[in-house]
Amino acid sequence: MEILDVGCGDARDARATVGIDLRKHPGVDVVHNLEQFPWPLPEAQFDRVILRDVIEHLDDVVGTMEELHRICKPQGIIEIWTPHFAHPNSFHDPTHKHHFTLATFDYFTGDRTYPRYVRCRFRMAVRRLLFDKHEWTGRCLARLSERHYEKHYSHRFPPRGLYFELLVLK
């Protein structure tokens, strides 16, 4: 199984067979600026791609999603971890260029009547709010309705982050 860790730095995921990042670190196999497309990776090479706290740093989220689609095999899985827009960590880091909600990646799945920005297709397999242990109030409110929680309560009881798994449709 071929697994790519995008933007891994010196903390490459143990499951990854390949790491790509802007700078050379232990665990980085391909040094490349992720803002420049195409990435120097073959088409349809990866079964799984991991982006842990990376996508919020990139200028072109749409271009990144298109590139992820290109390098994944059919039925490949893309894992994305990112801060939730309501959490202070989303705004503390001055290198964060984008802020994400539960619905952000719906623009790529066609599950809603949002405009289509890309021709490539994905299916949402997992969508999850991430809470720290002590954040029980937000976790309880989100269990009732994640959409209602995000709209009305997430600023008061913010989740730490978001986790998505997108299935590549080809």
Q: Of 17, 26, 160, 5, give the one whose Cα is nearest residue 80.
A: 5
At 19 the pLDDT is 98
Question: For residue 43, what are the domain limits?
Answer: 3-169
Order of all β-strands in the sheet with 30-31: 30-31, 18-21, 3-6, 46-52, 72-83, 161-169, 121-130
Residue ranges of the alpha helices (H) in 59-120? 61-71, 88-92
Structure tokens at 164: 């998505």
At 164 the pLDDT is 98
Entry pTM: 0.94
Specify the 3-state DSSP secondary structure of 12: coil
CA distance 158 to 76: 31
Specify the amino acid at residue 134. Answer: H
Structure tokens at 131: 């809470």
pLDDT tens track of the chain, all 170 residues? Answer: 999 999 999 999 999 999 999 999 999 999 999 999 999 999 999 999 999 999 999 999 999 999 999 999 999 999 999 999 999 889 989 999 999 999 999 989 977 666 777 788 999 999 999 999 889 999 999 999 999 999 999 999 999 999 999 999 99
First to last CA, the chain: 18
At 110 the pLDDT is 78
CATH number at residue 28: 3.40.50.150
CA distance 17 to 27: 9
Q: Where are the beta strands (DSSP E) in the chain?
A: 3-6, 18-21, 30-31, 46-52, 72-83, 121-130, 161-169
Q: How many domains, the chain?
A: 1
